[in-house]
Amino acid sequence: MLRSIALTALLLGGLLPAAAQQPLRVTPESRAQVTLSYSPLVKKAQPSVVNVYASRTERRPSNPLFDDPIFRRFFGDREQRPGGPTAQSLGSGVIVDASGLVITNNHVIEGMTEVKVALSDRREFEAEIVLRDPRTDLAVLKIRNGAATYPAMDLGDSDALEVGDLVLALGNPFGVGQTVTQGIISALARTQVGITDYGFFIQTDAAINPGNSGGALVDMNARLVGINSAIFSKSGGSIGIGFAIPVNMVKIVVAAAKGGVRQVRRPWLGASLQAVSKEIADSLGMDRPAGALVSDLFPKSPGAEAGLQRGDVITAVDGLAVDDPESFGYRVGVRPLGGMVPITVLRRGKPVVVQVKLAPAPEIPPRESVTLAGRSPFTGATVVNLSPATAEEFSIDAVKEGVIVAEVEDGSPASAVGIQKGDVVIAVNDARITRTSELRSATATRQYYWKLTIARGGQIFNTVVGG
């Protein structure tokens, strides 16, 4: 490498005039010019970054035999008592409101019951979980400390970022304490990461390690531009490929938490979208494979009412480019409910703009939540009716009929046979299931065996379970 650099210098030396070969030397006029530093930015941002400690004490059965899932399956789950192992999680967070609202990653506090935050000045406080949003892997905490005020970080605009911009990452890697690393924006709009439903990540080479999750990615004005969430690594350590959730998505979740809701609701298009392959692009006369192809439309949905058609290729939302279905989901997902948004589509080779209403997915039919009891494989599972709203809530695509498993009680027969949250129950003993009341009736009588048809992760499984 040194050899090639030297050769380049020699070649340039023979071409440039003598004056240009001399390095420009200017005497520094101030201390700031001598000692350039990120210290002022760090001093401004650091008080807003916290460490997040989450834990959960497992419960253990009063009889050791109940540690055996097969035993629990046949005899039910008996009274349990505390004293089991403690599950723990460590991450970071950012104060985004002076009242003590903290944004962090949902995976940092997922399944946890006790949460504490430690400020940069080493004060520690208990915190309550105000809002979880698994679809974006974000969660909002509230510091429990009366009417105290806290140093909130200013929020930037992630759409204004450009590749090459300088950024700082603040967090608590490996639990060693608050740490700052520096890098640049390596890429924008990374959509094939597979971490969240709204995959539209900022990629940075600022060192991010385990424990940085939920920490701040800040710009050169000490404004929050992203929440550090994941790394690409084969060793578990940073290799310069980190991913952060854009702050414009964070704003939507924080606004929902301030509004007192328990679930973030976003605009719903009511259409099935697929990526545009090279073959599809060629068949449509497109110069490159980009956009989101409308493959199906839900009747009376905002997309259908706006005049979208099957075969349309969505190329932009309010003038912002759409490269694939994930980027469309993000562009619409950061919009508040209400009003309209212009969506540009390519239809038969020509651009067309349609105005789409920003409305949430309807809960039709109503969810009619039911917790199943008795002696069936679903005992201990809570199910809800499938609707556009619940399908969006549980990230379910391509399933039109059935009921959704919303919760599974730990140690229940449903848990023992492998029923999972997000499963869609389509049939029991070959009887179609379309409402929660039908599943309750179908499981009311004990059977010698149960034939189950379940959709999970886009695939349909048939299995037989003993009665």
Q: Could you give the count of Cα atoms lying within 13 Å of 98 in the half-sphere of its Cβ? A: 3
pLDDT of res. 427: 93
Distances (CA, A) of 283 to 46, 210, 328: 53, 45, 22
Hey, how many other C-beta atoms are within 10 angstroms of the C-beta on 375? 14
Chunked into runs of 10 residues, the chain (467 residues) has average pLDDT values of 30 36 59 73 92 73 46 43 60 92 91 86 90 90 85 92 91 80 86 64 84 89 90 64 90 92 89 90 87 90 94 93 89 90 92 94 92 90 93 82 92 90 92 93 88 88 82
* Domain contains 21: no
252 and 276, same structural domain? no
Shared-domain flag, residues 229 and 331: no
Tell me whether residue 137 is one of the annotated catalytic residues.
yes
- Decide if 8 is inside a domain: no
Q: How far, rounded to the nearest angstrom, does the alpha carbon of residue 397 sit from its chain's CA centroid?
A: 17
What pLDDT, on the 0 to 100 scale, is given for residue 356? 95
pLDDT at 18: 42
The pLDDT assigned to 87 comes to: 63
User: C-alpha 308: how far from its chain's center?
Assistant: 28
Q: Which domain holds residue 331?
A: 271-357
- The verdict on 69 and 147 lying in the same domain is yes
Domain match, 203 and 327 both: no
Count CB neighbours of 57 within 10 A. Answer: 13
330 shares a domain with 223: no
* ∠ Cα 36 174 195 (to 5°): 95
Which CATH number goes with the domain that contains 246? 2.40.10.120
Q: Which of 264, 280, 305 is the last residue of a domain?
A: 264
pLDDT at 114: 85
CA distances (Å), 153 to each of 32, 146, 215, 219, in order?
25, 20, 12, 12
Looking at the fold, whether 148 and 228 belong to one and the same domain comes out as: yes
Tokens of 389: 């709203």
* Domain CATH number, residue 318: 2.30.42.10
Residue from 77, 133, 137, 205 carrying the catalytic annotation: 137
Which pLDDT score, from 0 to 100, does residue 59 have? 53
In a domain, 24, yes or no: no
CB-based contact 37:78 (threshold 8 Å): no
The verdict on 313 and 236 lying in the same domain is no
431 and 403 Cβ atoms separated by less than 8 Å: no
Is 122 contained in some domain?
Answer: yes
Q: Exactly one of 107, 219, 323, 415 is catalytic; which is it?
A: 107
Give this prediction's pTM.
Answer: 0.77
d(CA 293, CA 265): 24
318 classed as catalytic? no
275 shares its domain with 414: no
User: How far is CA 444 from each of CA 143, 184, 341, 366, 430, rounded to the nearest angstrom?
Assistant: 45, 59, 48, 22, 16
How many structural domains comprise the chain?
3
Does the annotation mark 107 as catalytic?
A: yes
Which of 264, 291, 317 is the endpoint of a domain?
264
275 lies in the same domain as 385: no
pLDDT for the residue numbered 16: 37
In a domain, 185, yes or no: yes
Q: Look at residue 68 in the predicted model and tell me its pLDDT.
A: 46
Residues 176 and 291 in one domain: no
Q: Catalytic: which of 186, 213, 301, 415?
A: 213
Q: Are residues 288 and 309 in the same domain?
A: yes
Enumerate residues 6+ apart whose C-beta is below 8 A from 221.
41, 154, 156
Strand 340-347 and strand 320-321: the pairing is unpaired
Domain final position from 357, 384, 407: 357
Domain membership flag for residue 11: no
Looking at the structure, do residues 376 and 227 belong to the same domain, yes or no?
Answer: no
In a domain, 30, yes or no: no
Q: Is 188 within a domain?
A: yes
